[in-house]
């Protein structure tokens, strides 16, 4: 992580164009194999940074006058976001993860020292995923019925 920390010390705040340039220089070090053609491997541009910010996937930049300034934290967030996109995670699930993490946790994710577990927000999708993965209820095993499952008696 020394290269990232050097950048943080040498350039504590960057204008948008410099931030994009530094990000694109660092991305190849943190992305999975380039030959796989996954998303997240295209170069970053200023418009994309602004989009990620409006979606809440990156913290809002600092302001100096009318000019946005990006910090080491923004760099970590963007590198983690692009890495996880390249690994197949959705941007919305990544965005909620990135926002609440400390810089050290983002560094760990970037270095691959953390295993992420993503769960479906919809219980029906989670159940279908279990069935697909062979982890659903065993054959012959009945699920507990709820009162709404029972037909009215006449």
Q: Where do runs of H (alpha helix) occur along 1-154?
A: 2-10, 16-30, 46-54, 72-86, 91-99, 103-111, 123-132
Domain assignment of residue 73, yes or no: yes
| Matching residue, tokens 């054959």 | 139
Helix axes of 103-111 and 72-86: crossing angle, nearest 10 degrees: 30
Q: Considering the domain boundaries, does residue 153 fall inside one? A: no
pLDDT truncated to tens, each residue of the chain (154 aa)?
568 888 888 889 999 999 999 999 999 988 877 555 556 678 999 999 999 999 999 999 999 999 999 999 999 999 999 998 888 888 888 877 887 889 989 988 888 755 555 555 567 766 776 787 777 665 555 555 555 556 566 5
Residue 9 lies in a domain: yes
Range of the domain at 107: 2-111
Number of domains composing the chain: 1
Is 143 domain-assigned? Answer: no
Q: Against a cut of 0.75, is the pTM above it?
A: no
Q: Break the chain down into helix, strand, coil percent, rounded to 5.
A: 55, 5, 40
């Amino acid at each position: 992580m020394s290269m990232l920390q050097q950048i943080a010390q040498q350039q504590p705040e960057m204008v948008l164009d410099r931030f994009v340039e530094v990000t694109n220089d660092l991305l190849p070090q943190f992305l999975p194999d380039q030959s796989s053609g996954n998303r997240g491997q295209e170069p970053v541009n200023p418009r994309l940074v602004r989009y990620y910010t409006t979606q809440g996937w990156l913290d809002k930049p600092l302001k100096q006058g009318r000019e946005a300034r990006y910090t080491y934290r923004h760099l970590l967030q963007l590198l983690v976001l692009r890495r996880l996109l390249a690994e197949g995670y959705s941007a919305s699930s990544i965005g909620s993860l990135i926002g609440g993490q400390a810089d050290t946790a983002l560094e760990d994710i970037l270095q691959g020292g953390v295993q992420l577990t993503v769960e479906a927000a919809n219980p029906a999708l989670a159940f279908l995923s279990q069935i697909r993965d062979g982890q659903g209820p065993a054959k012959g095993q009945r699920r507990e019925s709820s009162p709404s499952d029972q037909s009215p008696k006449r």
